[in-house]
A and B are shown apart, each in its own frame.
Chain A
Amino acid sequence: MNTKEKEKYIEEFDFPHCDESTKYEKVAKIGQGTFGEVFKAKEKNSNKKFVAMKKVLMDNEKEGFPITALREIKILQLLKHENVVNLIEICRTRAAQYNRYRSTFYLVFDFCEHDLAGLLSNVNVKFSLGEIKKVMQQLLNGLYYIHSNKILHRDMKAANVLITKNGILKLADFGLARAFSANKNGQVNRYTNRVVTLWYRPPELLLGDRNYGPPVDLWGAGCIMAEMWTRSPIMQGNTEQQQLTLISQLCGSVTTEVWPGVENLELFNKMELPKGQKRKVKERLKPYVKDPFACDLLDKLLILDPSKRYDSDSALNHDFFWTDPMPCDLSKMLAQHTQSMFEYLAPPRRPGHMRHPHHPVPGGPAKPSSSMADSGYQDRVF
């Protein structure tokens, strides 16, 4: 085939396994994911079903289709659970002259009306204790499922927790997720340390651990749980150092007594660790949380030593979920709100409030102090 024939062939070839994105009609931009924009869209056929379309950005990819997007696709194809966002299909634009015969790809998901950060930023949205329990129970169920499938999420935060109008919670954005394995024959894992949005980043990551596991997601679950009452992230550090200080002020000093082996972490001697701090998780959260079981579970999730931190199974067995008021359906409460609530669309909580958890170290060189998951948020305008 000559060039013309080949172009025509590609333009006209009807890929039987990959539908065109024109079957959906974009409605609004609702977010910015790890590797591209996210749109709300409507199916054009008789279903009129709403979906979320996440564009795969490839313009600056020297090495073709991004390996991060391939990972997310592989993981999403593996994970099928009520509390994990459902990937419907991958769509493409038709290759034509205007795009130099290179298709653009979209990941198409079931549409979820809200994200937890959006809901929490709206003062009119009020969660009862039973509803909070339902949120946390679903969140931990999702984590239990993905961890059983040997997947780490690595970007737990309220904005990545979606909730449908029927009150079903879905863990979303697996753009940073990866498979993990137990250490075999003494081989230590060397995962990248630069993951998880700073405000939700556990102490082991801040201390340079590269052999981490599911507890990193449980720390995030603890932060999110507290946020259900405080309505705002509980530890909003500007730098890794400041985040570690905030953690010490809440969870007590990082010492070898409370966390044997912590001295072996790469940054243990490089970071400044506040001394003599008492653990006051319950004490400081009580004014907000009130419920003693809730305080106790938070205390178990926000444990400094990852090996002692509750896993999702123990958390789900905690009395918090098995005492009155029992977890209860969210759909009634959500039915009072007719508007979608996303962090991306929410107004700033107060003027000048820098919601972004990361930015370059003041005075330092412009370096990524964040997980790459947030690179997409740079163009937000408040």
Chain B
Amino acid sequence: MPCWYYEKKELRNTPSIQDGIDYETECRYRKEGARFIIDTGTKMDLGYNTMATGVVYFHRFYMFHSFKNFPRYVTACCCLFLAGKVEETPKKCKDIIKTAKTLLSDQKFLTFGEDPKEEVMTLERILLQTIKFDLQVEHPYSYLLKYAKCLKGDKNKLQKMVQMAWTFVNDSLCTTLSLQWEPEIIAVALMYLAGKLSKFEVVDWNGRLPKHLRWWDMFVEDVTMDLLEDICHQVLDLYSQANNAKAPDSPPLVSTHEGNREWATIPTANDVAASAPATPNKISKIEVTSSTVNGSSNADATDGSKPVEIPAHFPPYPATFTPSSTAYPPVFPPTNISVPPPSVTTINHIVSAMHPFNSSGAIRPSAPALAPPTFQPFPYPAATTYFQPGNPAPPSTTQRAYYPP
């Protein structure tokens, strides 16, 4: 399998950057694409694993292609479409497109061309080749829950910490962290961050050995504080990015500098709570800011400074093409991701959906979503003849010619 992890300097030399897009703009495109996958997936009741898989495909895709050549929202739909099948929560292509249309401005939807479905279908083959059919992707969520189970301490505080870490993982999808670090390390770092912000200090844990200085030494090796802080700042920068009008330098390039940052400068949950609505809304301050920026067409690579140009499209299927009547079976029961987050998560998260817990709240996997991906029964075409009409009729006598009755 190819290596899907990159150095920071490689992330500053992507096909898009070589194509003349600046680094900050690429980061924004990635964030918008990831965001859009999550919004579309949430609206379609898809589980967090499906959405996260789609986002990882999206990030990997743009390590080989430029945002100028492939408009991000079409790619995003394609990634979600493929992830749905891979995670056994298939959605029809036309339904994804329909949902996408409700979330995009007319102008952005123009990038889907005259036949959006054909556009996505053709792109799917390019996507599969680009990601080398490396379909199975792991996410920090499962590690987060696994690690949390080992931690000792106040159950209530622990749960709040995990809830917060969970939303950080959601938000981390908008960064290129999945292209830099294994999900285990991201889980550790964002639990560390959530622990700091929710004032949950881990002093003891199950399975502790004398050589373990920190709880995560049980699960990951050689993770320095510099690295953890760098990962945390890449996520936190999302919030400052959204709050500041000007583009910040994110993700941070030099980790030594990051290590010197004071934790005190990071807004704590309480600080944020004071300046944010008490109940987090779907549309937070951050989102309003960023969507205003997104709305301006001259910032779009595909549009450039020229008037909107309707992009290229693929020839449609020939008229002789007869679609089969096969329909996907009902999807896997949706996970309970629409539960409003507990009040601890009043930080302006980029991604407000996808929650780990049911409202009841004990730390446990939220039912089916955390189980290993369950396969769907094969959808049998309703009116398919499996055998050619010309087949010889079966002999009416017993078949066991080689075996005595």
Interface residues of A (CB under 8 A from B): 1-7, 9-10, 13, 15-18, 60-65, 67-68, 70-71, 73-74, 77-78, 90, 92, 95, 100-103, 105, 150, 176, 178-179, 181, 184, 187, 190-192, 194-195, 230-232, 234-238, 246, 249, 284, 287-288, 349-350, 352-354, 356, 358-360, 362, 366, 368-370, 372, 374-375, 378-379
Contacts and interface: CB of A to CB of B under 8 A. Distances in A.
A234 B130 contact: no
A372 B384 CA distance: 10
A102 B129 CA distance: 11
Contacts, number: 185
A65 B85 contact: yes
A358 B373 CA distance: 31
B49 to A, nearest CB: 14
Which interface class (under 10, 10 to 19, 20 to 34, 35 or more) fits B?
A: 35 or more
A74 B128 contact: no
B373 A17 contact: no
A238 B394 contact: yes
Contact of A17 (B2, B122, B313, B388): B2
Contact of B315 (A70, A100, A287, A362): A100
Contacts of A354: 392-395, 399
B374 interface: yes
Contact of A65 (B82, B312, B403): B82
Given A187-B368, A368-B380, A369-B386, 4 more contacts: A77-B134, A192-B378, A358-B387, A359-B387
Contacts of B378: 68, 176, 192, 194-195, 372
Given A17-B129, A238-B394, A358-B386, A194 B380 contact: yes
Q: Is chain B's interface secondary structure helix, strand, loop, or mixed overall?
A: loop
A352 B391 CA distance: 11
A7 B69 CA distance: 11
Given A65-B125, A191-B377, A358-B387, A17 B136 contact: no
Contacts of B90: 63, 67
Contacts of A235: 400
Interface centre among B124, B313, B394, B403 (most CB of A within 10 A): B403
B385 to A, nearest CB: 5
Contacts of B81: 64
25 contacts: A1-B312, A6-B69, A6-B311, A13-B126, A15-B64, A63-B90, A63-B328, A64-B82, A64-B121, A67-B85, A73-B133, A74-B135, A92-B129, A181-B371, A181-B372, A184-B371, A230-B402, A235-B400, A236-B399, A238-B394, A353-B395, A354-B395, A360-B387, A366-B389, A368-B385
A100 B43 CA distance: 33
A184 to B, nearest CB: 7
A191 B136 CA distance: 21
Contacts of A236: 399-400
A161 B144 CA distance: 41
A232 B401 contact: yes
Given A2-B312, A6-B312, A16-B64, A67 B376 contact: yes
A194 B401 CA distance: 26
Contacts of B380: 192, 194, 368, 372
